[in-house]
Chains A and B, each alone.
Chain A
Amino acid sequence: ETGVTQTPRHLVMGMTNKKSLKCEQHLGHNAMYWYKQSAKKPLELMFVYNFKEQTENNSVPSRFSPECPNSSHLFLHLHTLQPEDSALYLCASSQASLRALGEQFFGPGTRLTVL
């Protein structure tokens, strides 16, 4: 595997389900991110993990819960989602410094549909 991989690529879930999205980066980077891309809206940065520490959440609802067990793996745990949470969820990684997030490299995304 190369670059940034995400699984699953497509997910359909009910509002009462619990599911997790997985991301893995093979670039040797030290920071990982979750983004949300909804129709008609700009990509939104949801979570930043820099050196395994979460540094940003941008007021994301608590029904989204990130987990970063090491610098290569990132999860997004989903529970009791709403239909408006249907979107493309993108994972990215970068080589961050203390002053900059660095050039972002994206995975292919998970297309999530909440019924």
Chain B
Amino acid sequence: AQSVTQLGSHVSVSEGALVLLRCNYSSSVPPYLFWYVQYPNQGLQLLLKYTTGATLVKGINGFEAEFKKSETSFHLTKPSAHMSDAAEYFCAVSDTNGGSQGNLIFGKGTKLSVKP
């Protein structure tokens, strides 16, 4: 069964500092990987996704993530944090097997705080 582990339920950084949110997955088949962001009282917004091809994926708002198969990781980074990045971030995996038709399995989320 697929699963997603997000290390650190809460990460705090200073404005301008590097953001690193960790995600590890387990999957018996090559997965599709996603990062979503959730602002308070809102739904989920897609930041970026990995399907095939280039392992470094660039997303919106300056975020990027690198798929590392050998480490089963898909960590999210941003070189310089902005106050508006404060939100909860979810890593998700989707089975590429035909039976799942793209169900998303989410991690428990990491809440990012940005200090001025």
A and B assemble together: no
Residues of A within 8 A of B (CB): none
